[in-house]
Amino acid sequence: MTKSACLVFSILLMVSTSLKAQSRNSPHVSTVIAVLEKSLDSKNATVGQEIALLTLTDVVVSGETIIPKGSRLIGQTAAAGARGNDDRKTVLAIRIDKAITNQGAEISLQAIIAAIKAPADDSLTADPLYGMMHSNEPKMIGSGAGSAAGTGNLSASSKATSTAAVATAQVKGGMDSSPQLTEDSQGAIGYDGTSISWSLDVPPPTTIIISKARNLKLKAGTQVLLRMAEPHVAR
């Protein structure tokens, strides 16, 4: 995305919250609701650390489902830690890079996080389903060839979705974890003293989540509303 296109994209994102009043010639913006697969903690997060989300809704463009429910969104941390001389604010900066569909197709994204909602206490770590799946996870024992055997020789795609957090999110996403956010949701719901802003002047767009606390932890199971430049699949 060029700098000028990113500027137009940023204006759309900030001025039109509902994104329902776009002109024919304006770049369209899509939305998707996803769930955070693993907790992200400012205390130990590192720049470039991978972040993965599981989509709970489809992304449809011109009547075609481009990113189906159950796809993974992959991003990375752009910054983490304390901000300011008094260390009273903590920041997590996040960039969303791509989507990986159920069929393995990769789609580049230009996206921001518009809203987050903390999970209920029973969503993952306190969930019996999570506990069961976590207890059944393969354990790495020893090293070398023996360790490889300990994983059950999972395929690459299976390993990517074999953790208890991911499996629980997938099961609950299909059963009782209906989206708790809407296209008009804003801010950090359930995270006291936390706000969301964006860096949009230079691509790629970056979401900046700031907390007044000394530490900021986004829990696994947190629902996320993303807004993105309309994605397209290479033909």
CATH level 3 topology of 3-121+180-229: Lipocalin (2.40.128)
pLDDT digits (tens, 9 = 90+) for 59-92: 999 999 999 999 999 999 999 998 776 557 999 9
Q: Are 211 and 90 in contact (CB under 8 A)?
A: yes
10-residue mean pLDDT series, the chain (235 residues): 53 46 62 97 96 97 95 97 78 97 94 96 53 56 45 44 55 60 96 96 93 94 96 80
User: How is the chain split into domains, by residue range?
Assistant: 3-121+180-229
